[in-house]
Amino acid sequence: MAANYRILRYFSLQNLSEDVIHKPWFIHFYALAAMLLWGISYIWSKIVFEYLEPATTVFFRLVISSVFLFLLLHLTGKHQKIKPADHKMFLLTALFNPFLYFVGESFGLDRVSPTISSVIIATIPIFMPFAAWFYLRERLKLINALGLLISFIGVLVMVVDRKLGMTAAPDGILFLLLAVFSAIVYGILLKKLTGHYSPITIIAYQNIIGIFYFLPLVLLLEWEQLQSIQINFRLVSNLLLLGVFASSLAFVFFVKAIKHLGIAKANIYTNIIPVFTALFSLWILHEIITLDKIVGILLVIGGVVVSQQGGPTQLKSISNHPPIPIQHDKKKRYRFGRRPRRPSHGT
């Protein structure tokens, strides 16, 4: 046990030398590693769905991630206690993510291919300027609407065939749209917490709350299936991959990338998640990647890139899914505290 403690301590990201993490290749490795893990997470989930129902899958994923993140916080000495005044906000934000977000993503992925699922989830950044316009009255730019239109056409190319029939289950699409909506609301609510707590602290506590949100679903809807499950290496290994790598390490990697690249540059990498998912679907699940899917992926990614040219919004996302653009606004740097006064030379 002591040996495992030293190994975890040694490989903890906080103990990497500053000389290493400031090297350009290492910073970009963080971003690429996070995108690769989020991209392949759709494949891991699809494999676990062969054994477990969606809610049960997310339940165990959150349990594994919570244990890993709290262990990481303990080893790095970064653990923060939650103030009683923030308890309600943690409960509310966790309702939208991980609960509603993963209800939408998991039940949608259970009905739709990993490639289409990742492409629809990739549209989250496109809707953020519209949410900022509605809730924060930020000015909406024409290029934001253009990016939304291009990506919407890309999604239609993937889910509607040339005879105007659906190539994906309509209920699966609706579940995925629920995930998109939940991520947007979550991004708005999260602003009240990001000024007080570290990203890893927020996601760790929200995962704990999410476990209790998912528990009734597992007991009421999926308990019989869970009792008949036969545990094997394929199931356990993919659950661990989801909990440790997709829900924990990928998030830590991306936070590191944001720290050194800035949110605008780091978010550019999120556009390649559907590409990773399509490649891994082809390789592992032998999914047929048609020309329509390739065109759709390119249109969605192009729409996201175009919409980001209009400038990121003020909404910040910290979650188990690919992040939402953040505006780095120096004028609002002291939003949650009093701006320190400059020393007076006259006294």
Tens digit of pLDDT for each residue in 14-38? 444 444 445 566 778 888 898 899 9
Query: In this model, does residue 228 exceed pLDDT 60?
Result: yes
User: Would you list the domain boundaries of the chain?
Assistant: 8-327
Q: For residue 339, what pLDDT is reported?
A: 46
Q: For residue 264, what pLDDT is reported?
A: 58
Query: In this model, does residue 134 exceed pLDDT 80?
Result: no
One DSSP character per residue, 273-339 reads HHHHHHHHIIIII-----HHHHHHHHHHHHHHHHHHTT---S----SSSPPPP----GGGTTTTSPP
Q: What residues does 166 pair with on adjacent strands?
A: 160
Q: For residue 216, what pLDDT is reported?
A: 96
Q: For residue 179, what pLDDT is reported?
A: 94
0.85 cut: is pTM over it?
no
Hey, how many other C-beta atoms are within 10 angstroms of the C-beta on 331?
6
Mean of pLDDT over the chain:
79
